[in-house]
Amino acid sequence: MRGYLAALKCVLSRPQWQTATARRIPVARLAFAAMPMRVAVCISGRGSNLAALLNALTAEAPARVVLVLSDRPDAAGLALAAGRGVDTAVLADPADAGEWLAHLERAAADLVVLAGFLKLVPGSVVARFRGRMLNVHPALLPAFGGPGMYGARVHRAVLASGARESGATVHLVDEEYDRGQILAQERVPVEPGDTPERLAARVLEAEHRLLPAVVLAAALAGRPVALPSRLELSR
């Protein structure tokens, strides 16, 4: 709930909400003003960011996960989703745009979230969901992004560079890896003696705060929006 209220505060601080009418709308009524945003989450592994989203999207939240897609039938996140009553599907061919669109349209998805999904999304799928597809990345883009930069590779590269901080980024998806508009970032200091594993664990905690905040803000605004650069999220 604290993450939900933080996202709400971010959206309401934007100029388009700063009218006499908007200021009179009670928070509870605003949250229920429209049908919940329908979110499809795409995963390749255990689904820890999926779990963070499911935990954040409580019954009163303005968004809910309606589908979990994976390119791997053995992805642990599929069982997690099924256990929470969320529909799941496995892509037989992740390069087949028609298969993607059939699943997403059947679920009536409003927003697509790539949460540890490692394949490049077909261009026609990106085009169909232009401005409505998000990715979470375990570094401060535009640094340490692009093809092959995922998982431990990212954290090894950060440490090898001598960077003094890393973090998490949520951005819009376009036709290239990790190059869409940045919507939000949370910075994580690199500590003396850090290993890729230790750094990864702290960055993952940041991802678990940042991604739900961006999704909730998108649901409240009706579309993905950039969050303040100095966003303070509850730890």
Alpha-carbon gap, residue 173 to 134, rounded angstroms? 6
Burial class (CB in 10 A: 0-12, 13-18, 19+), 13: exposed
Query: Which band of pLDDT confidence, cut at 50, 70 and 90, is reported for residue 228?
Result: confident
Count of Cβ atoms closer than 10 Å to residue 131 Cβ: 13
Place of tokens 């803000």: 217
Catalytic residue among 103, 137, 171, 208: 137
Token digits of residue 41: 């989450």
Residue 50 near residue 65 (C-beta atoms within 8 A): yes
- pLDDT of the residue at 23: 34
Q: What are the DSSP calls for 20-54, one per residue?
A: HHHHTS-HHHHHTSSPPEEEEEEESSS-HHHHHHH
At the topology level of CATH, where does 2-221 sit?
Rossmann fold (3.40.50)
Instruction: Tell me which amino acid residue 209 is.
Output: R
Distance between start and end Cα atoms, the chain: 12
pLDDT in tens, 55-71: 999 988 999 999 999 99
Domain boundaries of the chain, sorted by first residue: 2-221
Name which of 6-20, 32-46, 85-99 the model is least confident about: 6-20
> pLDDT tens across 110-166, in order?
999 999 999 999 999 999 999 999 999 999 999 999 999 999 999 999 999 999 999
Catalytic site residue 171? Answer: no
- Percent of the chain topping pLDDT 70: 83
The whole-number pLDDT of residue 35 equals: 87
Q: What is the pLDDT of residues 155-202, one digit of tens each?
A: 999 999 999 999 999 999 999 999 999 999 999 999 999 999 999 999
